[in-house]
Structure formats: structure tokens, C-alpha cells
Structure 1
Amino acid sequence: MYQHYLLLMPELVESEECNIGLDVEGHFSGLAKQSMKFHNAIAELIDNSISANIKNKDYFSDDNVGESFRIQITITRYSDRVEVIVADSGEGMSPEMLRNDIWTSGNTDNADGVLNEHGFGLKNALSFLTRNQGNPPFTIISRTSDDYKEGHFGKVKGPISREMSRDIGKFRDLWNEGAEALEDPETGTRVHLTTSNEILQSSYRRATRLETISKAIREHFGVTYRHYLQKTDRNHIIIDWEDKVTNDSGEASVKPIYPEFKTGEDENGNEWYRSDDIVVEGEDGNQYSAKYKRGIVDWEATWEKYERDSYDGIATGEGDSPFRIYYQKTQATQGIDIVYNGRTLKTGLIEKVWDRPTHNQFNDFVGEIIISDEAFETVNNKVDINDNSILWLELKENLNQEEWYEPIKYGRTEKEAGIKQRLRRKLEAQMATENVRAEKGFDGVDVDLLQEFEEDYEYIYEVKRSNANPIDVYQCVMYWDAYSRTDDSNLSKVILVARSIGDNAASMVDRWNNRQDEYGDEYNIEFQPLSEYDLD
């Protein structure tokens, strides 16, 4: 160990060698090869920032919310790299922690925050994101209220090696960078790191624009930290992004992401939304509980909620769900989330919990298993529960033994053929209707329903079980064109019946209704919701 004071560099006051105490090449290169995604690794740093602010282990059961956090994430993309800053105004790290404690493998001696469980978070994130490469791959700067002289900060700069040092000095410019949104600028931690565009894009591979990727990251964090963001409006995660390649930039506040649920009762008198406490016994003979909440998603209410101005552009979906990634009303996203100490570890679970495969009848089923007791174990990178833990295995057994705990089937997810049949019966019951039939094969086009009226005019119906999309509007135009060419056509209107209609599809309806067909007649296409016929 060495310690010296440098007088020639006015910013630097003290430098002391870090105590790594590990096989640097083997240990950290192994962590760098983990199967993670960008947002999972950044979440490790967010966990540390939350833990630096929130110490109360009973945070979610305590009505007195005295602790809160404010975290700023800055993402800057260049053609050859991505620079990230995760900044908080928590308690900060002492010089000794920066030099010694945080580099010890699995160290939990100072892990006293609500999300500090394994002591691997910082090392996981830095190793995976930077691959220990860059110039420098990372810089950590921190300050507590009691351990530093006024205007002085502790700093450690990578790469991780036995030559790495902890410096103390007046690093004010570095300290202020990426921390403009923080309320208490004099304590806390800033992690500056360099990663690759490939790793950044792992958060949403369908996009190349940083604006879209940032929105996807915002949704990831909105799901992961929704319980913290819902606990008090003083908890904030802010994302600043700038693309140096396209000269675009923006800022967004992370909002809690979770669907709204159907209220009332099913045909058997059971509530659609249910909540139960499940008690399991550990190897030590003590009892531990988990809360199990679940229900059927009300997609219309979910859309309405996330289209409000207060949610600032979160609603980006085009189908039943307003979300881009989660809760999509699909087999891939159906099921329950695992929430541990207020942090969502895993989403959309059916097969992992119940001895049954996913199925379309569960597409509207969403829920949570909320675990607050540390006796339940998670894996080191906190992206899942430990499948082999005794408590988890017993909890899973309880969920499989009780019929009441099983995934809820939504009885109205009938196929479109069933909806068409019910609509046909309703149309036949209308006054002035002469006939309703499925029309097959005129001019190569099959029509869902053709309604003939006594006054000698006709309606065509295109029926969709889910939301109406632009392609469905185009189908209605094809019906109009094809049927208008028949000799006995008396077509007056084409009606698109669906659960709801998006803005793009609605605009497309308006555009076509301002046009004329090949015979000089104006198109007449109309949208009607399933609810108008009591079919929703």
C-alpha cells in the first residue's frame, strides 16, 4: 500500500492504492461474460443508488415515508461508443469504502440499504458494461457529508487492476456532470462508464434510434421500480439522452408501469381482482409470507390511464396494450411478476410457477407475487428468484395445490367466429333487416357479414376480436371496391367492428371517406366498437 500527496496537480490532494484482493483477470473477466442486458446492468447501479437513500427494510409496510431518492441517468451515444452516467444524491461512500470495501467479492458488510443483498451489483455492472475496456472504462466519484473536506471528493478510475488508486481532490466539474436534476448536490455517488452500442441496443433490439431505445429503457425501469415510484411522488428516476450521431436529445421521467384491472365479479360470483397472503415454512421452522395479487386486465382503462398527459408519452403500443414491451395480451407476456423488496425481478410467468403451459385463454391474466422477506433468495444479478430455495419451492407447491390460486381464465376471449355469430343474431333481430349472411367468394373476396335491409340497401361488416388496425381499414376498402363491382350491389356502408381503434386507423378511415371509388361514389366506412353490440 502506498499513500502520497501531490502538490503539482491542484485538483488532486491524496492518492492511495485500492485493495482489490481478488484474481482480477479471472474474476472480473468472468463477470463480463454474463448473459445480461443493458437495462439489467444499469439497474444494478440504480439499486445501489436507491439503497444509498433508503435504509428502512420495512419501507413498504411503514406508512411514515421519510426516505426518498432522486436518480439521474445520462446516456450519450457516439458512433463508436456510449457514455453513461448514473448519479444520485444519497449518503455517498467514504474514502475507505472507495479504496477497499466495494472491491471485495460479495461484500455485504456495508450493504445496509433496502436493495443491497449480494454485494455484487457494482462489480456486475462495471464488468459487463465496460468489459474493463475504454479510456477510462469507468470513473466513480463519491462524497459523504462527514468524511471529506469541503469541496473535496473521492474518485476511483478504471480499468480494474491492482494498480488502481483511490484519489481525493477537488473534482467539482466531474462531480457536477450528469447531475443537474439532483436536489442535494453535495453528497452521493456518480458512476461514469463507457459501453458499446451493441450492449445499449440489447434493451430493445427492434430499434436503432436512441430516442426509441430510451423510451424502451424507461418502460423497463417503470416496471422494475414501479413500487418505489408509487410509494411517494418524491421518488424520481430521470433519463437524459443525447445522440451525437443524429444530433437528437431528450429527457423523460420514469413512471410506474402496471395495467389497470377489471372490477366486479365473474359468472360464479368470484371477484375478477384477487389478493391473498400465502404462508410457507422455512427449514428453520419459522413462517414466512408472500402476497399474491392477480386479476384480469381492463385494457380500455389501461389505455385511458397511460394516454393522460401526466404519463408523458408512455402509451406507444398499437394493439390492445398501450405498452411497447410488457403486458401485451400475448402468451409471451401473460402471467405473474415476481417482486422482491419492491423491485420487480421477473415478469410474465406461467410455466415457471404452475405445472401448465401458456395458453391464449390466459392472455388477459396478470398478477404479482410480492416478497419482502430476505429469507427468500435471488440470484446474484437479481434478475430472478433462486429456483432452488426451499421457501420458493414450498410457495410454488402451494400455488399449484390450490385451485383458487391458478391463473384466471377470461371467459370472453372467444374467437372471432363466435363474435361474428353473436353479432349476426343481434343484426337479425333488428327491425327492417331482411337478411344477414356470410357472403363468400364475390370477385375473389369473402365478407364476414352482409346485412340486407327491406328498403333495398346493404351493409357489410368486418369483425375483429381485438383493436382495429390500419390493415383492417384497408380490408374494408377492398370489400367496398369488390362488392361495388357486382351487378346487384346496393352497398351503402362498410362497418368495422372491433374492441377499439387506434389513431392511425381512425385517420385512415377519415381519409378514405373523403375519396371516391371508381364509379364516382364516396366511400362510406364506419367504425363501431364491440361494446355497442354488447360483444366486448
Structure 2
Amino acid sequence: MDNNSNNITLHIFPDTGAMWEGLGGNFDNFTEILNEFIDNAISNLLNVENPIKNILVSVEQSVDCSTEYRITIEDTGSGIQNLESAFTIGNKSGQESPLNEHGYGMKHALAAANKANDSWKIYSKKQEDSFYSLVAAPYSLKNQQVKRISKNLPGQICNTHGTIISFNISFEWLKTITKGLRGNYTKLSKFMNILQEDLGYTYGPFFSESGITLTLRYKDNESNRTQTLNVEEVKPSEVRTLNPGSGTTTYDLSRGPISIDYRFLQIKKSEKYEKHYLANMSTSGVEIRINGRLLADNIFSDIWGIDRHNSYNYLLIKINLKSTDLKRLPKTTTNKTSLKQDDPCLDKLYSWIRSKMPTPKKEVSLADDEIDLFSELEKQKKSSYKTIDPSALITTEQNTFYTLGEKIRIDLYQSVLNKIVIYEGKKEETHPKDVYQLLMYWDGLVYDGVPVAEGILIAAKHPNSVRKIVALKNNSKDDNGNMYKITLETWKDENIDYPE
């Protein structure tokens, strides 16, 4: 530090190890890391004249460690044009397309995958060179070493020119590919199938529009055979288009006009996929792409300000924003896993979506089961009774048989003006056993010292067998000596529009 008069100068030299550790802390799963390298490969291939535009991702168990896997990403592009800018954090001078937005991608993805900063290697050869360049761990802020080797690239698909990036990852990182999915995944083949789906979801339009191919290759440890998977666009199972339909328009998000491709869809659960377009609360809503690349999905409450519900699972709005001018597009986070929430372009985009669909229609008929219908019924009843009885209790979380140490949940419990009504229900049709399920709730509450005034059995319809059993039971008494009162209702009796 220099001290001259009242001014001082701080000489700041970042610690490489600490910087590397902090740089790699921006990812939640391995697919996000891999996307950074694929972004760079696609960006380069979009700007190269080579008619063969291939990307290969290889995964193989490490020879030295059974809990590590060697990842290799190859492309047949034109190679890294300026290694110094490519390895400088935040340098954007090598930007080839909107996919190279921040100047962080390759570095922070390497830091996330190879935290020890000891296993990564990058081979690159330009079309005009007679040698390839090799840059290998560890990363250095000041004096990164580069070897020049007069040979063809040691790649499986690229040897005359292109780029190869390889590194080791832990099995724990590999498992994050299936994060959020049900089941215990242990086989490499399963991870690769999900990865294939992830990449087809993120980059799908590129494969159909640019001529770029993306292939996964892995060595199955069980069969000891090499397997190959071709990545293709992941598409939803469309039922129909919704108003305003689909099309392309020009719109200014506040920094200049861009093109917006849009599709407003009703979808159903896809039988082809395990992770995407399942028509559930995790895979419906609004997805936003920039020039085809997925940037955000499953957006709902941020746009309409209403809570998510299974009755909206049918809705998928696909938005693709197109422009070669990055300044006109919404800003992304540095790891490109979402859009910047403080960007006014995003608010204007949400307003544009609302102008096309002011409020999504709640399709109760698309509810997964009676749980969803009871959730809607609970909401309606709370709204109806809040002025009549501010202390009213209406819930789908009430249990019975407490005094026996049991917790049996009642489908819907309603206590309004000290009158207790309980519900048992089915989405479509009731059966005789449902009558006895409702009676069990009733008897449990009586056993707990809670008197019941009425039990309601609700469904789309009730067969004659159920009606006869209800009539029989309504002639008998509970343990308090009070007559059972079981009423049969339909969802429409309770103002639930099911079935339509």
C-alpha cells in the first residue's frame, strides 16, 4: 500500500485458491455446469463455415478412482481464437453469440466441476494452425501456462480443429442430474438418460434449426460396453392451442425491438419423459428462451400474482425472445440458470404475457385427483364463511382418533357456527367402502369428544349400492345416541365445476 499525503493506493492481488473456490459456487447440479461448455461450443459452431457441426459429451469412470468420472466435451468448431481472453475472468472480447454473455462461463464451470483445481485440461486447435494448444490445471491468475504441440487433436470427433475440454467430477456431482426426481438412481445409464432429456429440453430448437448435433457417449460399467445417445428436442404433448394461440410479433422490452415467438398451449402429461413436460406443478407455467436456449421455466406466480394450483397444470406458455443485440434482451444471471429479477425488461415481458392472457383459467376438470378438488372446495368455503363466522375452521388437515394415539386425516373438516360437518370424497364415483370411511371419521370424532352434525359423501356420481347403504346407516345412531346424517352430494352441488 502506498501512502502519499491524504491518498492511498491499495494493491489488490486476489488469492487464486480462494477465488477459484468462490467462482465455482454458483451451480446446483451437473447439467447446469455442462450447459456452460455446450453454450460455448454452440456459439462457436454457429459462426463457423464447417459443414460438420458436432458436439460430443463423453462420460467414463476414472481409472484412478472408482468414485470419480472423467467428463470430456468436444466440438468440431474453429477452436479458441484468443486463449488469453478466454481464460481472463469477465473478459467478453471473445464473444461469438448471445450465448457468451458474461465472460465467466468456462472458468466458473471448471471451478464448480473441479474444485481441487487439479484435473481439468483444455485442448484447442484453430483451423489455420499446425499445432494445438494445451492448457491444464491449476488455474493461475497471472501466469497461466500454455503448451503448443505439433500434432492433431486427441479427440474422438475432432482432430484437425476444434476444442476439447475434460475434467473429473465426483459421483456426488453426477447424482445431481436426477435431483428432484423420485427413486434411488445408481446406474450410469440412468443418469445419462436423464441428462439426454435435460439437454434436449435446454437446447432443443438448436438441433432442428442450426444443423448442430449433440451426442452423449458413455461406458456402461455393468456391460463394459460403450453406449451412444443422440440428443433431440424435448417437446410437450399438446392437446390444443389456447387463445391467443401461437405466432411471432415484434416488441420493445424497453431497450429496442426484438422478436417474440409465442405458443399458448394446453398440454397433457408426456409419456416419453421422466423430468420435463409432465403437466404438473413443477413443469407447467411459462418457459422463457433467448434465441432458443432455455433461461427460465415454471414461472407462474411472478406473472399473475396468484398461487400455483394443480388446476393450472394444463397450462404451458412457450416464449422465445430473439435478437442478436444482447442489450435488447432481458439480462441473465452469470450462470445462465435464470433471468435477472431487477431488469425492467423482465417486468415488461411479464406485462406483455398478461396482455395476452390476463388471468389463467382454472381447469378444475384437469385436477389430478380428489385432493385437488378438496383444495378448491376448502378455498371456496373459507371465502364464503369468513364474514358469517370469523372463527370458522375449514381445513383438509384435521385428524381424528387422537385419544387412541392415531392420526387419521379427514378429507375436509368444517366447523362453522359450532356446527361440525365432515366430508369424504372421490373424484369420479363413490363405492360402498367410502360410506364406511366417512362413518369412521364420524365415530373417531365422537370418540374424541367432538359431536358431528352431518357427514357429506361427495363425488361426480353415486351408484345405487351407495345410496342404499347410506339410507340404511341413516336409520342408526352413533355412540352419543345421535342419528347419523349422511348426505350425498356432487362436486357441482358445491359449486365445483367438475366434470365440465
How far, CA to CA, are the matches of 1:84 and 1:416 in structure 2? Answer: 43
TM-score normalised by length of structure 1: 0.62
Distance 2:222 2:286 in 1: 39
Q: Distance in 1 between matches of 2:127 and 2:50?
A: 19
Q: Does 1:325 align with 2:284?
A: no
After superposition, the C-alpha distances for 1:85-143 in whole angstroms (9 at most, x for unaligned) are: 0000001024xx23x22121211112123521111111011110001433xx1111111
* 1:379 aligned onto 2:316: no
- Render the CA deviation track for 1:266-319: whole Å, top value 9, x for unaligned: xxxx46x4446372352x5x44453332210144xx54xxxxxxxxxxx2xxxx
* CA 1:188–1:407: 2 relative to 1, 3 Å: farther
Q: What is the percent sequence identity of the aligned residues? A: 19
1:131 aligned partner, one-letter code: K
Answering whether residue 77 of structure 2 is matched by residue 93 of structure 1, we say no
Closer, same or farther: CA 415–386 of 1 in aligned 2, 3 Å: closer
The answer to whether the 8 A contact 1:399-1:406 is kept is no
In structure 2, what is the equivalent of residue 412 of structure 1? 365
Q: Deviations over 1:339-366 (max 9, x none)?
A: 0121011222112333122111111111
CA contact (8 A) 2:218 2:228 kept: yes
Mapped partners of 1:410, 1:81: distance in 2: 47
Q: Does 1:337 align with 2:287?
A: yes
Question: Which residue identity lines up with residue 309 of structure 2 in the other structure?
Answer: H
**Residue type at the aligned position of 1:291:** D
Closer/same/farther in 2, CA of residues 439 and 389 from structure 1, 3 Å limit: closer
Cα gap change, 1:114 to 1:32, in 2 (>3 Å): closer
Please state if 1:215 is matched with 2:193.
yes
Q: Secondary structure at the match of 1:212?
A: helix
CA contact (8 A) 1:106 1:119 kept: yes
What letter matches 1:412 in structure 2?
S
Structure 1 counterpart of 2:99, one-letter code = L
Check conservation: 2:111, 2:117, Cα contact below 8 A. Answer: no
Structure 2 partner of 1:280: 252
Query: Partner of 1:263: helix, strand, or coil?
Result: strand
Of 343, 346, 356, which aligns to 2:306?
356
Q: 1:442 to 1:186 in 2, by over 3 A?
A: closer
Residues 1:188 and 2:142 are matched in the alignment:
no
Between the aligned partners of 2:144 and 2:248, the Cα distance in structure 1 is 51
**Rounded Cα–Cα distance in structure 1 between residues aligned with 2:283 and 2:289:** 16
Q: Deviation of residue 220 (structure 1)?
A: 0.7
Q: 1:451 Cα shift?
A: 7.3
Cross-structure match for 1:140 = 122
- In structure 2, relative to structure 1, the CA distance for the partners of 1:438 and 1:346 (3 Å cut) is closer
**2:236 alignment partner in structure 1:** 259
Please say if residues 241 and 251 of structure 1, whose CA atoms lie closer than 8 Å, have aligned partners that are also in contact.
yes
Task: State the secondary structure of the residue aligned to 2:306.
Answer: coil
Q: Provide structure 2 residue ranges, at least 5 long, that are not aligned to the other structure.
A: 1-12, 374-428, 439-456, 466-498
Q: Which residue of 2 aligns with 1:397?
A: 351
Q: 2:137 maps to which residue?
A: 158
1:111 aligned residue = 95
SS of 1:27's equivalent in the other structure is helix
CA deviation profile, 1:9-59 (whole Å, cap 9, x unmatched): xxxxxxxxxxxx965233322112223311111110001111111139xxx
What does residue range 34-183 of structure 1 map to in structure 2 within 5 Å? 34-55=26-47, 69-78=53-62, 79-94=66-81, 97-98=82-83, 100-134=84-118, 137-146=119-128, 148-149=129-130, 152-161=131-140, 162=142, 164-172=144-152, 175-177=153-155, 179=156, 182=157
Q: 1:114 to 1:347 in 2, by over 3 A?
A: same
| Distance 1:245-1:123 versus aligned 2 partners, 3 A rule | farther
8 Å contact kept, 1:329–1:364: yes
Q: How does 1:428-447 map to 2 (within 5 A)?
A: 438-441=430-433
Aligned CA distance change for structure 1 residues 414 and 40 (closer, same or farther; 3 Å): closer
SS at structure 1 position matched to 2:41: helix
Q: With the length of structure 2 as denominator, give the TM-score of the two structures.
A: 0.66
Q: CA RMSD in A?
A: 3.6
Q: How far has the Cα of 1:163 moved from its partner?
A: 5.2
In 2, Cα distance between equivalents of 1:157 and 1:415? 52
Count of aligned positions: 371
| Structural mapping, 1:219-258, within 5 Å | 219-232=197-210, 234-244=211-221, 247=224, 249-258=226-235
Alpha-carbon distance in structure 2 between the residues aligned to 1:44 and 1:185: 22
SS in 1 for 2:201: helix
Matched residues in 2 for 1:417 and 1:201: separation?
34
| Structure 2 counterpart of 1:192, one-letter code | S
Structure 2 residue identity aligned to 1:31 = L
Contact 1:92-1:188 within 8 A present in 2 as well: yes
Give 5+ residue unaligned stretches, structure 1.
Answer: 1-20, 57-64, 304-314, 316-322, 421-436, 453-457, 459-534
Q: Is the 8 A contact 2:50 2:77 kept in 1?
A: no
Preserved CA contact (<8 Å) 2:57 2:72: yes
